[in-house]
Amino acid sequence: MTSLRVLPQPVDERDRVARALEGDRAAQTWLVETFTPVAYGFCLRLMGDEQDARDAAQDTMVKVLRNLGRYDAQWRFGTWVLSIARNTCMDEYRRRRRRPVCEEVEVASDEKGPAELCDEQLRSERVREALATLPDIYREIISLYHYEHLLYREIAELLDLPLGTVMNRLFRARQRLKDKLVGLEDVHVPHTLARAEQAG
């Protein structure tokens, strides 16, 4: 007799959000368990300190649950969580008055950016160390594109920037990261891009 394995149904994220909004504790718990690691990873790359990142991620998820009614379904839920995480980190920087000032100079460029880094390198400890030395605006955009896998247009919406500014800023961020890496001993920087931009 042949036994049939019943595969689990895929999670309907919108349904979970709707149920959480209605006060469903199980749905709220699912949101917290699913997106706390996302918020923590992003906060850690922005803040560079594990305890600060844990605190910011916890604050982020409290804000997420309190403001579910403001969620706009045209955004991916994870992107909305990242926007709250970013604001939480920025508030903490302002509160401590330690956020470095970085003036950005716009550079007109038709280039889509150098192909210096791949995903495997971006996961390495040495790259994380180099990333932590970059100014906030470059560390943030590298994190959003290469780690959180947002599209250019999603980053533009999240940061409230023109699309061209996002592309130019990412180009400069990669260049700065490359400069940090090539100065380290035994670091090889391959000329392959981490991932291609998706259409849309």
As a whole number, the mean pLDDT across the chain is 76
Give residue 185's pLDDT: 46
Lowest mean pLDDT among 46-55, 74-83, 133-142, 190-199: 190-199
Using pLDDT thresholds of 50, 70 and 90, give the confidence band for residue 29: very high
Give residue 97's pLDDT: 56
What amino acid is encoded at 90 in this protein? M
Looking at the domain assignment, is residue 102 inside a domain? no
What is the sign of the dihedral through the CA atoms of 127, 129, 134 and 139? positive
Task: Report the number of distinct structural domains present in the chain.
Answer: 2
Domain CATH code at residue 22: 1.10.1740.10
Residue 11 burial (10 A CB sphere; 0-12, 13-18, 19+): exposed
Nearest by Cα to 64 from 40, 43, 41, 36: 36
pTM tops 0.75: no
**Model confidence pLDDT, tens digit, residues 58-111:** 999 999 999 999 998 888 899 999 999 999 988 887 776 544 443 343 433 444
Q: Is the same domain home to 88 and 129?
A: no
Q: Is the same domain home to 113 and 199?
A: yes
Using pLDDT thresholds of 50, 70 and 90, give the confidence band for residue 190: very low
Nearest by Cα to 78 from 25, 150, 152: 150
Assess whether pLDDT exceeds 50 at residue 2. no
Give residue 3's pLDDT: 43
Measured between alpha carbons, how far is 143 from 165 in angstroms, rounded to an integer?
Answer: 16
User: Of 68, 96, 124, which marks where a domain is finished?
Assistant: 96
Report, as an integer, the average pLDDT of 140-159. 88
Lowest mean pLDDT among 13-17, 37-41, 181-185, 190-194: 190-194
User: Of 34, 64, 96, which marks where a domain is finished?
Assistant: 96
User: Of 43, 72, 96, which marks where a domain is finished?
Assistant: 96
Q: Is the same domain home to 127 and 89?
A: no
Helices (H), 48-116: 50-66, 77-96
Q: Which strand (E) or helix (H) includes residue 62?
A: helix 50-66
Give residue 62's pLDDT: 93
Assess whether pLDDT exceeds 90 at residue 196. no
Nearest by Cα to 32 from 49, 17, 12, 46: 17
| Angle at which helices 13-21 and 77-96 cross, to 10° | 60
Domain CATH code at residue 172: 1.10.10.10
Domain encompassing residue 24: 13-96
Give residue 107's pLDDT: 39
